Every structure is written in structure tokens, then in C-alpha cells.
Structure 1
Amino acid sequence: MAPHGGRKLLKFLILFENSSLLFFPGQFLSGRVLVELEDETPVLGLFFHVVGEGVVRLLKNGRQHISDRENYIDFRMRLLGEPGQGPVLLSPGIHSFPFKLGLPLGLPSTFLGKHGWVQYYCKAAFREPAGLLHKNQQVFIVMNPIDLNLEPPILAQPFHCEIEHRLGLNCFTSGPVSCRVRLDRGGYVPGETIGIWASVHNQSRVTIKRTKASLTETIQYMAKNRVVQTETRELASLNRGKIKAGETDDWRNEQLYVPPLPPTNLRGCHIIRIQYDVFFQIEPHSMEKPIKLQLPIMLATYPLRSDDGTLRRKRGAHYPSTLPIFRPWLDEKTFD
């Protein structure tokens, strides 16, 4: 980035040793601030600031309004100059000022959403005695992975949900619709499939139009400890056809694919929450509302392994070699 200001400053860059700009909590953020000068230049100070922050921002009357924010990193250091001292004279040519910072454990992952974000960046400021201030900024990405092998073992077990619901205007003469749903486990990674078993017994007098299973992502934005905005989108779905009155339909290990998703771990962030659910939905032919069962699941970064360390490959799994950093569907319409 070419600096604004005087002709003397030819280059002012923040360069990371890790050129991918992707870091894990606990790693070192190291690099250098590079200054190239055309002439001998007096400098009052070179300042360096590392910031990690979460922000929830809502539009109010068409104007941007920050509802809440929190800090994860706020690290400042002076790379050149002493407080209260006079200017330092730098010779023409290239000057390199190293920096190194251990990233704290437990940082939430970088996240960009419609109404908020978790972002990490470095800022450098180069101050000359005449009052000239040159600034530069460099974003970096933090990925805090979730390893299914380190989560509670219950996530590797199947889990169930059931409901009984009466359809029809005369609930006393019409029998119930009963439904049992089971997922093969409670935790998955992108590229795997969710195995679904279900039994829907229609004892009502109403035909069921279809049954549907969908994987959804719900993002909640918080401000002052309350949810101020929610967005939910469907990531994948499966359908089966009608069930007439008195009939039963069974789902037998139907496979719902988990698409490639950014590996988002927002533990440590208190103003944005992200949740994944499998919804099983029964849609009557009548005007009645669909019957919904909600099964919360965990989506992780690293898949389950056997005791000998080998990958427990799921049937139908296509583990992607890379995952997107951001959500490509951010600009798509959300549904309620």
C-alpha cells in the first residue's frame, strides 16, 4: 500500500512471517513493519497495535448503529522512539522493525455476518515531528478448530426425538400423528452425511403432504445480553412424499449431506452465537401448520478417529481439502 503524505516515505508495510494470514490460537503472530525512506527522516515514533474484536451492528433509521462490542486482543507496543524523547533520525533506505505476539488460547474464530463480525487486525502508525501521521492496517484470520474427538463422547452416539400431535378440526375423533426421529450421532464435519431414521404413523383423518428433513444454520446477534437479530438459512434438505390417513412411512438411514462450511467456533464470543439443527417437518395437506421436531447438532472441524488414530470414514463422506473462510450465502435472502 503506497502511503499518503510526504514524498519521503516510499513504503510502509506490515508483513507477517506466515503469508497465508491464517493463525490458530496459541500460535505466534510474528513479522515486521517495513519502512522505506527516500531521504534522511526524523521520526517521533513507530507504533504497533494488534486488535481482536467482536462487533454487533444494526441499522437504525437507515444509519449504522453499533449495538455492542467486545475485545479479545488489545496489544500495543512502540517499535521505535521513546515517550518524552526527541525524534530519532532514520537514514535513507529500508528499515525493518520486528514484532512477535503469542495469540491467546480460546480466541473465537474470525466471523463475518450480516449484522456483526469477529475480526483481527494489526495497525501501524509512523509519526513525523511535523505532525504527519502515516497509517497502515493488515487483517489476519484466526481459526479456532473444533475437534470432535475432544468433545463429549455422547456426540458420537445416536440420539432420538419423538412427538405426538393431533391433526384435524375435531381432535377428539381424529387420531394422532406420531413421529420418532433418530440421527446416527450428534456431531459431524463438513463433507459427511447425517444418517436419519424416522417413523411417521398417520392415525389422523388428514393426508400428510410430505415429510422433510433440513439442516439449518442459525446466527443470533446479541446486544446488552439479549438477542437483537436472528438469521436462519437452510443448508441442505431431503423430502419424502405423502402419507395417507392410517398409513405409516419410514425413513431408513436417509443421508443428509453437510456442505463445506467455514470452520466457525464462536466460543469466547458473547455477542454472536451460531447453532446448527436438523429439523424434521411433517406437512399436512390441510391448512394446519407443519409439525416440527428440532434436533440440535454440533458441526466441527476435525472428524472422529478410531482408537488407533485412523479416520472413522463415514459412508458417503467427501471430506473437502479446503473449507471456505467466509459464508458465500451472506447476501442471499434468509427465511423465517
Structure 2
Amino acid sequence: MTRKLKRFLILLDNDSLLYLPGSFLSGRVLLELEEDTPVLGLFFYIAGEGVIRFADRGQGKINDKENYIDFSMKLLGDGPSGPGARIVVLSPGVHSFPFKLGLPLGLPSTFLGKHGWVQYFCKASLKEPSGVVHKNQQVFIIMNPIDLNLEPAILMKPFLCEIEDTIGIPCLSAGPVSCRIRLDRGGYVPGECICIYAWIENNSKVPIKKTRAVLTETIQYTSKSKMMETETRELASLQKGRVEAGSTYQWRNEMMCIPPLPPTNLRGCHLIRVQYDVYFIIKPKGLEKEIKLQLPIMIATYPVRNNDGTLPRKKGTNYPTVLPMFRPWMNTNTLKK
């Protein structure tokens, strides 16, 4: 049929290929034929799946998969497609076969990672009596948004964390270092700035070389309820200088802006988890161990609005007009934990 079949396309009505859970996926399968063509049927299939793949030391390859959509329909042909199926003859020219179906609620967002992905696609297959099957495939994107207006109100309250640790050589330079850090809230969207307040008291005899605040993205890959791989990357950071022994230092309303991030919502996916954190890191001089405070935050899609529906005015906010769908930084800026 290769010479008879000029075109075989899956055309979605939404040119952006971007869909929300619960919306309708519609379009048509288009065939263009040069002559009369007998076929058994035209079949249409929609799938959504999460997959992880990587090599595990000593165990070979590890693969795992889960399905979110698995739906098929027949666009052309009647009855069974096996022996004795009725043959349909398509005339020369263009034939269009429309489809429309509702996508389930609660689908995890499309995601592409180093060791796994969440992907959605539709396939069409055209079967001829000789047994030859012609196939085509079209990927589409699911974005499951997170609206901060619908999340727990505690995310909009200040987020406080504190720690006390000892640095230095016992009986010589050892002493406690206290740190208290506060974020203005626990939920943000890309384009907003995280307001950071910190108070560091160095009661040791070892100077603190620097303090850093780092926004990180952590991707965890799980198979059969076992954590198989974890990646953590820096997305933004701020740094302040030296804190002398026996002195204190404060961060006052320092602002770390959140870059444009893919709208990641993998709720419903049990293989891949994405988490965002603010780490506050105290780096003493010399070979002393770092002191780290971890503050988990939520990166959402839609920002909090005022009661009248307007966006609150906040210094440093610059909402991007378009969010990327993929992560160009996947192979860079790995944070050593």
C-alpha cells in the first residue's frame, strides 16, 4: 500500500498540543490515497504512561511502568478484525476520520527526566487484508496545574526553621553556631521572589567563610516502593560573606527570584517525584563540615489572588508570559548533598 498511501496523519485541533486533565482531546486522522484501497479497519489508540529506566549497579537494567490512560476505538470498519472481517474499499482522494474524547481528571503532568518520563500520545493503525499494518503516532502534552488559591492556607504563612550545631576542635576552638531562617511563605509560582530573613550567631572560634541560600529541584525515581535514584540541582542562589568568630550576621529581606520552571505536578505518578527546597548553608572556614537547613516549598502554576481577583503587588515579581515545558538544565548544576 506504500504507493497508494500518500498521507497518513494524526491532526489535533489544538495546535499547541497542550491539554488540561478533564478537557477534550479532539482532532482527526487524515488519509490520502492514490487509488481504490481495500482495508480491514482504521484503529485509534490513546495512551498515557510513566516510565523509569536506568542501570542499577550489580542488578543490570531496572525498568518500571504505570499507565494513566489506555483507550482504543475503531474509526473505520465493522465487527471483528480477524479472519472473516468485512473489507472496506476506500476511494482515491482525502479521507478524514474525526475523534473526540474526554481526558480523565487527575492526570500527572508531562515530564521528561534523566531516568524517566511521563508521556502521552495517540496512535493510529490502518490494517489491510494482506496483514500489513501502517502506523502513525502523535505526542500531546498534559499540564496539571497547581493553584495556590486552592491549596492549604498554611502555605501563605511565614516558614521558620532553626538549628544549633558545634564547629571547631574540642577544647580549642569549638563552640555553638546558631541559625534561624525565615521565608515569607511556603508556596510560590515562577517569577515571584522568595524573601529570606536569617540570623546567624557564631559563638565558636572558627570564622564562617560564607552563607548561601539555594533553591533546588530534587527528582526521585522509585520502583516497587524502593528509592532507586535521586538527583538534586540548583535553580537559583544567593550568597553573603564572612561571619567572624564571636559575632552575628543577619539577612534582611533578601530576595531570591524563582526562574521560569515547567509546571510540574506529578500527583498521581508513583514512579517519579519532584520536590523543591530552599537550603540555607553555613560554610565554616577550613575543613569544618557545612551546616545545612532544609525548607521544603511548593512551586505552583497559579499565584494567590486578592479577594477581588487581582494579583497582589510584590517587589521583585515578574511573572513570565510563557512557562517552559521541559528542563534545559537537566544535565547541569548538580548539587552535592
Is TM (by shorter chain) over 0.5?
A: yes
For 1:128, the equivalent position in structure 2 comes to 128
Q: How does 1:61-210 map to 2 (within 5 A)?
A: 65-84=61-80, 85-170=85-170, 174-210=174-210
Structure 2 Cα separation of the partners of residues 133 and 333 of structure 1: 45
Q: d(CA) in 2 for partners of 1:171 and 1:137?
A: 70
The letter of the residue matching 2:261 is L
Asked whether 1:50 is paired with 2:46, we answer yes
Q: What letter matches 2:235 in structure 1? A: L
Ranges in structure 1 where 5+ consecutive residues have no aligned partner: none
Name the CA distance, whole Å, in 1 between partners of 2:100 and 2:60: 35
CA distance in 2, matches of 1:297, 1:194: 10
Alignment of 1:6 onto 2:17: no
Which residue pairs with 1:314 in the alignment?
A: 314
Q: Which piece of structure 1 moves more, 164-173 or 8-17?
A: 164-173
CA distance in 2, matches of 1:323, 1:178: 39
Query: Which segment is superposed worse, 264-273 or 61-70?
Result: 61-70
Q: CA deviation at 1:19?
A: 1.1
Q: Which moved more, 1:179-188 or 1:325-334?
A: 325-334
- Counterpart of 2:205 in 1: which secondary structure? coil
User: Structure 2 residue aligned with 1:59, among 27, 47, 55?
Assistant: 55
- The one-letter amino acid paired with 1:136 is N
**TM-aligned CA deviation for residue 223 of structure 1:** 0.7
2:270 aligns to what SS in structure 1?
Answer: coil
Query: Secondary structure at the residue paired with 2:51?
Result: strand
- Matches of 1:329 and 1:75 in 2, distance apart? 34
1:332 deviates by 2.4
Deviations, residues 180-204 of structure 1 (Å, cap 9, x unaligned): 0000000000111100000000001
Amino acid at match of 2:73: M
**Do the aligned partners of 1:46 and 1:80 also contact (CA within 8 Å) in 2?**
yes
Retained in 1: the 8 A contact 2:233–2:332? no
TM-score normalised according to structure 2 size: 0.95
Contact 2:173 2:205 in 1 (8 A): no
Is it true that 1:253 corresponds to 2:253 in the alignment? Answer: yes
Distance in 1, matches of 2:283 and 2:58, equals: 38
CA–CA distance in 2 between the matches of 1:174 and 1:7? Answer: 82
1:149 aligns to what SS in structure 2? helix
Asked if 1 retains the 8 angstrom alpha-carbon contact of 2:156 and 2:187, the reply is yes
Q: TM-score, normalised by structure 1?
A: 0.96
Contact kept in structure 1, 2:281 and 2:291, CA below 8 Å = yes
Q: Distance in 1 between matches of 2:94 and 2:49?
A: 32
How far has the Cα of 1:67 moved from its partner? 1.9
Q: Distance in 2 between matches of 1:17 and 1:93?
A: 22
Q: Which amino acid aligns with 2:19?
A: F
**C-alpha distance in structure 2 between counterparts of 1:293 and 1:107, whole Å:** 33
Matched, 1:34 2:30: yes
What CA deviation, in whole Å up to 9, does each residue of 1:259-299 have, x standing for no partner?
Answer: 00000100010100000000000001031110000000000
Tell me how far 1:211 sits from its aligned partner: 0.5
CA contact (8 A) 1:42 1:87 kept: yes
Aligned to 1:233: 233
Q: Which residue of 1 aligns with 2:15?
A: 19
Matched, 1:277 2:285: no
Q: Distance in 1 between matches of 2:59 and 2:50?
A: 20
Q: Percent same amino acid at aligned positions? A: 66
Total equivalences in the alignment? 332
Deviation at 1:314, TM superposition (A): 2.2
Amino acid at match of 1:71: N
CA distance in 2, matches of 1:15, 1:233: 37
Q: CA-atom RMSD, angstroms?
A: 1.7
CA shift in 2, pair 1:36/1:62, >3 Å? farther
Q: What residue in structure 2 maps to residue 221 of structure 1?
A: 221
Deviation at 1:174, TM superposition (A): 3.3
> Relative to structure 2, which stretch is displaced further, 165-174 or 82-91?
165-174
Contact 1:147 1:302 (8 Å CA) reproduced: yes
The residue type paired with residue 7 of structure 1 is R
TM-superposed CA distance for 1:62, in Å, is: 12
1:114-146 deviation line (CA, Å, top 9, x unaligned): 000000000000011112211000000000010
Tell me: CA distance 1:66–1:38, structure 2 relative to 1, closer, same or farther (3 Å). farther
Kindly provide the amino acid, as one letter, of the partner of residue 233 in structure 2.
R
- Return closer, same or farther for 1:229/1:250 CA change in 2, 3 Å cut-off: same
SS at match of 1:303: coil
- Give 3-state SS (helix, strand or coil) of 1:249's partner: strand
- Quick check: 1:21–1:141 contact (8 Å CA) kept in 2? yes
What is the alpha-carbon distance in structure 1 between the residues aligned to residue 290 and residue 171 of structure 2?
Answer: 16
Residue 63 of structure 1, CA deviation:
12
Contact kept? 1:28, 1:100, Cα under 8 Å: yes
Cα distance change of structure 1 residues 283 and 105 upon mapping to structure 2, 3 Å threshold:
same
What are structure 2's unaligned runs of at least 5 residues?
A: none
* CA offset digits 1:162-181 (Å, max 9, x no partner): 00111112169733100000
